[in-house]
Amino acid sequence: MDIVKPRPARGRVPAALAVLTAGLSAFHRAVPNTPGRVGSLLESFLPWLGLAAVLLFLYGLWRRTPVVLVAALLPVAVWTHVFGALLLPADAPGPRDLVVVQHNVSDDNPDPEDTARALAGTGADLIALEELVPDALPAYERVLAARYPHHVVRGTVGLWSRHPLSGARTVDIKPADLDEPWSRGLRAVAATPHGEVAVYVAHLPSVRIVPRGMTSRGRDESAVRLGREVEAEPLDRVILAGDLNGTVDDRGLGPLTSRLEVPRRGFAFSFPAGLPLVRIDQVMARAATVSGIETLPATGSDHLPVAARVTLR
């Protein structure tokens, strides 16, 4: 007599994947960061887990498997709870709003003048730029001067403003193991119509994705140094704009996101410009609300510019 072995429940594997996806979305902080800073790597692409949830749900429809359909609702619900607010429209502009444009213009930008014209046309109050190499800097200064009469540059980062700037200084965020000249942080005070605001512009070290995970030690160290500067800032209102080489979900930026508010609306994936997958160009604030952020049309850079609306309190 033949013995028929019971078949595994249909859809068990996809259902388990759906539960796993929901767990990673909700409890990503529980994923260890060693080896290879796996936790930070997951958090860099966290919003894309929503795509996995949708695919699992569609698979359940295609296979007509109720257990998969029900299980897929769990990651959809978690994703909606975590990221759904970012999809809502931003509040109507108010009188205490500032528009801040952040852009890594790229050190090999083939047409800095065209990039500068595009940035000048945004009508922003503040423009923060990174990777300002000496050969291209005069083009930005010349093109932006008419609409942004106030600017300060330190090393390879700069700030252009419609409002007077004062108290400009270099902010030392250089990792301890770097020996070469390296200046990627500045601080200045913008005298806006609604009071003084301390504005920080920073370019944190790059991260690399390698077979064993992600290398981010230099970025994480610079984030700690910048976080201490922000914490010690005597002015209540602070705006930080920069290429931080990390997303707001990445625990490596915890020294900043624990002290500053991040955008409430918009994903604004800014890198790479040809196929944006993550937003590593950030605008954050203290004693102010970043009510929305969006990407702007591509320039000659490998990053997209982002524009954020900051409401001062």
Residues 66 and 130 placed together within one structural domain of the fold: no
- Contacting residues for 173 by C-beta, under 8 A, at least 6 apart: 184, 185, 202, 204, 222, 225, 226, 229
Residues 62 and 122 placed together within one structural domain of the fold: no
Residue finishing a domain among 65, 87, 109: 87
Residues 251 and 127 placed together within one structural domain of the fold: yes
Residue 212's pLDDT is 74
Residue finishing a domain among 29, 53, 87: 87
Residue 3 lies in a domain: no
- Contacting residues for 271 by C-beta, under 8 A, at least 6 apart: 277, 278, 279, 280, 281, 302, 303, 304
- Contacting residues for 1 by C-beta, under 8 A, at least 6 apart: none
Per-residue pLDDT tens over the stretch 255-284: 999 999 999 999 999 999 999 999 999 999
Residue 3's pLDDT is 52
Residues 108 and 78 placed together within one structural domain of the fold: no
Output the pTM of the full model.
Answer: 0.93
Residue 256 lies in a domain: yes
Residue 7's pLDDT is 47
Residues 153 and 27 placed together within one structural domain of the fold: no
Residues 116 and 17 placed together within one structural domain of the fold: no
Residue 2 lies in a domain: no
Residue 187 lies in a domain: yes
Q: How confident is the model at residue 65 (pLDDT cuts 50, 70, 90)?
A: confident
Residue finishing a domain among 27, 55, 87: 87
Residues 228 and 195 placed together within one structural domain of the fold: yes
Residue 26 lies in a domain: yes
Residues 23 and 66 placed together within one structural domain of the fold: yes
- If one counts the domains in the chain, the total is 2
- What is the domain extent for residue 253? 97-312
Per-residue pLDDT tens over the stretch 83-136: 999 999 888 888 889 999 999 999 999 999 999 999 999 999 999 999 999 999
Residue 140's SS3 state is helix
- Contacting residues for 14 by C-beta, under 8 A, at least 6 apart: 56, 59, 60, 65, 68, 71, 72
Question: What CATH code is carried by the domain that includes residue 205?
Answer: 3.60.10.10
Q: How confident is the model at residue 213 (pLDDT cuts 50, 70, 90)?
A: confident
Give the range among 1-5, 72-76, 125-129, 249-253 with minimum mean pLDDT: 1-5
Residue 6 lies in a domain: no
Could you give the CA distance from residue 268 to residue 263 in angstroms, rounded to a whole number? 10
Residue 60's pLDDT is 82
Q: What is the DSSP letter of 47?
A: G
Residues 139 and 285 placed together within one structural domain of the fold: yes
Residues 80 and 102 placed together within one structural domain of the fold: no
Residue 4 lies in a domain: no
Instruction: For residues 53-78, give the mean pLDDT.
Output: 87
Residues 264 and 124 placed together within one structural domain of the fold: yes
Residue 57's pLDDT is 83
Residue 5 lies in a domain: no
Residues 194 and 69 placed together within one structural domain of the fold: no
Residue 69's pLDDT is 84
Could you give the CA distance from residue 71 to residue 56 in angstroms, rounded to a whole number? 9
* pLDDT at residue 70 tops 90: no
- The residue written with tokens 């950030």 in the block is 282
